Structure 1
Amino acid sequence: MSESISPRAARNAVVLVNLGTPDAPTPKAVRRYLAEFLHDYRVVALSRWLWCPILHFVILPFRSPRVAKLYAGVWMDDGSPLAVHTRRLTAAVQADMPDAEVVYAMRYGNPSLRSVLTRLRDAGHARVQVLPLYPQYSTTTTASVRDIVDEVFGADGVARMRDDYHLDTDWVEAVAASIRAHWETHGRGERLLFSFHGIPQRLADAGDPYPVQCRASVDAIVQALGLAPGEAMLTFQSRFGREPWLQPYTDETLKALGGDGIRVIDVVCPGFAVDCLETLEEIALQNAEIFHAHGGKDLRYIPCLNDAPAHARALAALTRRDLDAHV
């Protein structure tokens, strides 16, 4: 006779997946994290015989200490911002979904997505719903999560995954409400700039829907805010290497805006579910300095949704619908 499955194990499980983060703001921890991240074919598609020597003997030795210093500048008492806010968001979604087990995992770093999914598979959960915390789909992020889901669960039908939620009504309104709240507290800047993480232009040319979904998200949020044409802009940040990435670039746009006499600008990053190095350090610090150096006076960064109640409710409602459709 087979071993009975406990009521807890038979419950539905929900996995919120974020990109990942180092375990500590140290060169060793950052090197370990970057090595895993940059070894993924979804992130860097070069042949391994060419890429691995470059990665291990050029990029990691020089980049890890520098990136560690950046992490140290935004590190929180309980860990990296991405880890802390992802844990808090998971707890908030769990509170809204008491009939399911809600956990989080990292595609790179800890807790690893593979280990979390393996535990849920072995526990005998009836259904496992995976939600990558990437509102917009990309082959560089979402598809990499699906690789691991398929590896662990195969085609047994227990695990399902959502590819995107870039036009989900509750999510759009949560972002719009966060912008309104920021304006009520700090006033409105002369422009609202939406900054998304970039990807190489060649991926978009090959059919990656990411830039189209970013534009659709911006259009929906702008409509919810009732903004007039020209009051909002879409840009892309975090490019790496020498090849062209999605444009316009955030830093170059800020230079131009400062030079054109724009003094106060609001920046929001709705492609990031929670605050992380790319928002707190790259945007709120680095890009603020760039804006100031080119004539701007004040770059007002609008925080990510993090564990805001509206964010947790939106993700919980989205996941409940997915579970109901998972038969």
Structure 2
Amino acid sequence: MKDYQLTGAPAVCPAHAPKDHPAVRPSKIGVLIANLGTPDGTDYFSMRRYLSEFLSDRRVVDYSPWLWQPLLQLIILTSRPFRSGAAYRSIWNNEANESPLLTITKDQTRAIRSHIEEAFGGEVLVDYCMRYGNPSTESKVREMVEAGCTKILFFPLYPHYAGATSATAVDQFFRALMKEKWQPIVRVVEPYFEDTAYIDALAQSVERAYAAAETKPDLLVCSYHGLPKRYLMEGDPYHCQCVKTTRLLKERLGWDDNQITSTFQSKFGPEEWLKPYTVEEVARLAEKGIKNIAVCAPAFSADCIETLEEINEEIKESFIHAGGESFTYIPCLNDDPAHISALTDLIKKNLQGWI
């Protein structure tokens, strides 16, 4: 069953048109929120389908397909789905039989939809899609067009721009538009890494976590998803945007430089990625005598495998094993009211001139 069925007024034959003219729905505006994606299940074949789609994306892994695909299909996808499936099972929402990312994205969409409906009534339809897995971007674009959306605002839920995240989501959106006879007018929400309301929501989450911690952290580690360093050298602005978010968060909290730092996680493959690597840096901090840390993930709009399993299990283990004592994971902003308010305000700004 669909989480939300896009609806609109019934389609009718346009005024002054011949009786055999196809019915047309009254014009609506769509807001399509996009997140990374999720496997449909934790079994081998569900994981293999998902990982194959994800790792076959040239924005994510830009090696020559002639070299990469045999390695991916014949070697990597023989064993990795088992390991990834086990990791997903450790965080899986068994009650809803879905990943936490999907559960949280649904919650975010419902909350945003409520605010948008309060502001604009039924004139704006709000839904979500995934870049990889389901519900697909193509299926949701099709539903919005069928519901009468002649304008669509596309919102990749990535605060920071990266070719492997924001750009591939937009690529997929435009591929979906290519299949529409009547292509809607579109806009894309720009990255919001320095948006004041977003920074404030991050700061509030840190303040709450510090107030609730039994042992006050000595340092806040802002762990961002990594990218090959080569991407930075080729012009991708992701690294610079991440570092700016950390600086703005530090200034909002009124902290000194020695109270906060930026690191990068999820390294994959043999080449050098953005440094310092989170898993190594937290161990180095513990060995250096910093025994109490907190970790947040500003680049993730929703908790997922990289935060719930990688940060709160693998990276935590690295810190404790190296002599750390207190590890506080600060959850992503998820459907926190301040986060929803910030996202809704961005949507309203981008709808100006359409409403």
Superposition TM-score tier, normalisation by shorter sequence: over 0.9
Q: Which residue of 2 aligns with 1:248?
A: 276
SS of 1:127's equivalent in the other structure is strand
Identity percentage of aligned residues: 38
Q: Which residue of 2 aligns with 1:304?
A: 332
For the Cα contact (< 8 Å) 1:149–1:159, is it kept in 2?
no
Equivalent residue in structure 2 for 1:175, among 202, 207, 212: 202
For the Cα contact (< 8 Å) 1:153–1:159, is it kept in 2?
no
Q: Which residue of 1 aligns with 2:131?
A: 107
Displacement of 1:156 = 5.3
Tell me how far apart the structure 2 counterparts of residues 88 and 5 of structure 1 sit (CA, whole Å).
31
Tell me how far apart the structure 1 counterparts of residues 92 and 263 of structure 2 sit (CA, whole Å).
26
Displacement of 1:157 = 6.0
Equivalent residue in structure 2 for 1:81, among 100, 119, 129: 100
Displacement of 1:326 = 5.0
Per-residue deviation, residues 71-111 of structure 1 (Å, max 9, x unmatched): 00000122101111011011010111003211110000000
Displacement of 1:151 = 2.1
For the Cα contact (< 8 Å) 2:137–2:176, is it kept in 1?
no
The aligned length equals 325
Equivalent residue in structure 2 for 1:72, among 89, 96, 103: 89
TM-score normalized with structure 2 length: 0.88
Displacement of 1:26 = 1.4
Correspondence 1:322 to 2:350 = yes
Tell me how far apart the structure 2 counterparts of residues 157 and 114 of structure 1 sit (CA, whole Å).
13
SS of 1:37's equivalent in the other structure is helix
Tell me how far apart the structure 2 counterparts of residues 26 and 227 of structure 1 sit (CA, whole Å).
45
Q: Which residue of 2 aligns with 1:39?
A: 56
SS of 2:271's equivalent in the other structure is coil
Deviates more, 1:307-316 or 1:123-132: 123-132
Tell me how far apart the structure 2 counterparts of residues 125 and 85 of structure 1 sit (CA, whole Å).
25
Q: Which residue of 2 aligns with 1:295?
A: 323
For the Cα contact (< 8 Å) 1:142–1:163, is it kept in 2?
no
Q: Which residue of 2 aligns with 1:129?
A: 153
In the TM superposition, structure 1's runs of 4+ consecutive aligned residues that sit over 6 Å from their partners are: none
For the Cα contact (< 8 Å) 1:160–1:326, is it kept in 2?
no
Q: Which residue of 2 aligns with 1:204?
A: 232
Tell me how far apart the structure 1 counterparts of residues 232 and 353 of structure 2 sit (CA, whole Å).
31
The 1:321–1:189 alpha-carbon spacing in structure 2 relative to 1, beyond 3 Å, is same
Deviates more, 1:232-241 or 1:218-227: 218-227
Displacement of 1:153 = 2.7
Please list every run of 5 or more consecutive structure 1 residues that lacks an aligned counterpart in the other structure.
none
Equivalent residue in structure 2 for 1:55, among 69, 72, 81: 72
Tell me how far apart the structure 1 counterparts of residues 92 and 202 of structure 2 sit (CA, whole Å).
24
Equivalent residue in structure 1 for 2:113, among 94, 119, 122: 94
Displacement of 1:148 = 1.9
Per-residue deviation, residues 169-206 of structure 1 (Å, max 9, x unmatched): 11111111111111121153000000000000000000
Please list every run of 5 or more consecutive structure 2 residues that lacks an aligned counterpart in the other structure.
1-16
Matched letter for residue 48 of structure 2? R
SS of 2:255's equivalent in the other structure is coil
Q: Which residue of 2 aligns with 1:278?
A: 306
Tell me how far apart the structure 2 counterparts of residues 296 and 326 of structure 1 sit (CA, whole Å).
53
Equivalent residue in structure 2 for 1:225, among 239, 247, 253: 253
Displacement of 1:124 = 2.6
Displacement of 1:49 = 1.6
Deviates more, 1:143-152 or 1:223-232: 143-152
Per-residue deviation, residues 103-161 of structure 1 (Å, max 9, x unmatched): 11000000011211122234331321111011000011111111122223359561211
RMSD of aligned alpha carbons: 1.5
Tell me how far apart the structure 1 counterparts of residues 275 and 151 of structure 2 sit (CA, whole Å).
40
Correspondence 1:158 to 2:185 = yes
Displacement of 1:48 = 1.5
TM-score normalized with structure 1 length: 0.96
Per-residue deviation, residues 25-55 of structure 1 (Å, max 9, x unmatched): 1121111100001111111112212111101
Tell me how far apart the structure 2 counterparts of residues 157 and 91 of structure 1 sit (CA, whole Å).
24
Correspondence 1:267 to 2:292 = no
SS of 2:164's equivalent in the other structure is coil
Q: Which residue of 2 aligns with 1:28?
A: 45
Q: Which residue of 1 aligns with 2:5?
A: none
Matched letter for residue 294 of structure 2? D
Per-residue deviation, residues 248-277 of structure 1 (Å, max 9, x unmatched): 110111110110111110000010000000
Instruction: For CA contacts below 8 A with separation 6 or more, give which structure has more relative contact order.
Output: 1
Tell me how far apart the structure 1 counterparts of residues 77 and 173 of structure 2 sit (CA, whole Å).
28
Tell me how far apart the structure 2 counterparts of residues 16 and 4 of structure 1 sit (CA, whole Å).
28
